[in-house]
């Protein structure tokens, strides 16, 4: 919906450049955030292994993999807590921790949503006072407020749900790179098309 209008204003070549750069920028930001998340997890994994026990294992799983905590607690941690010197439970815990880390490292990021958010930002910057009608709630809203609100929601969700299956920081990365491209184009050309 927004891309067609931007392509008419900018032309196909400039729109394609914009779309590709925001998509690659989104991938770069998401990769960087994943690196930080994995680094933090590996740091805590090393600390857990230095004082390996059922309590340290439970805290590690609860902090970094809360979606799996109940299942792992029932299968491994509860039994290990009742028999702290069990080599079998310790081996199962190490294996489970390694599997969780492998799963975290091997989750792919697929999609074009970062570039889509870049397009959304461009529409909000080029046509800030255009009225958009939302479905829920059914109220008219200016494009600039819609884009700013959507960006704020993505930032909140990215910070409050780290490790979720939605690449919130890719969305923000697309918007960020889109902002810089538009500002650069505004400085180097008198018109954007």
Q: In this predicted structure, what is the pLDDT of residue 152?
A: 97
Sign of the torsion formed by the C-alpha atoms of 140, 158, 156 and 66: positive
**Residue 177: CB partners within 8 Å, gap ≥ 6?**
21, 22, 24, 25, 26, 29, 118
What is d(CA 77, CA 151) in angstroms, rounded to the nearest whole number?
Answer: 40
Query: Mean pLDDT in the chain?
Result: 92
Cβ neighbours, 10 Å, residue 185 = 16
Q: How many CB atoms lie within 10 A of CB 148?
A: 14
pLDDT digits (tens, 9 = 90+) for 116-175: 999 999 999 999 999 999 888 889 999 999 999 999 999 999 999 877 788 999 999 999
The share of the chain scoring above pLDDT 90, in percent, equals 81
């Amino acid at each position: 919906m927004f891309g067609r209008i931007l392509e008419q204003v900018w032309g196909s070549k400039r729109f394609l450049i914009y779309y590709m750069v925001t998509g690659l920028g989104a991938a770069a930001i998401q990769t960087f955030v994943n690196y930080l998340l994995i680094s933090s997890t590996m740091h805590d994994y090393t600390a857990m292994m230095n004082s390996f026990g059922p309590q340290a294992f439970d805290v590690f799983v609860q902090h970094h993999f809360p979606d799996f905590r109940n299942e792992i607690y029932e299968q491994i941690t509860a039994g290990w807590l009742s028999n702290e010197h069990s080599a079998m439970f310790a081996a199962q815990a190490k294996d489970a921790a390694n599997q969780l880390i492998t799963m975290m490292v091997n989750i792919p990021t697929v999609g074009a949503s970062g570039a889509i958010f870049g397009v959304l930002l461009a529409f909000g910057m080029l046509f800030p006072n255009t009225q958009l009608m939302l479905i829920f709630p059914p109220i008219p809203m200016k494009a600039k407020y819609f884009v700013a609100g959507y960006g704020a929601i993505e930032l909140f969700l990215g910070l409050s749900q780290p490790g979720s299956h939605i690449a919130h920081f890719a969305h923000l990365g697309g918007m960020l790179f889109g902002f810089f491209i538009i500002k650069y184009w505004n400085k180097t050309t008198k018109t954007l098309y």
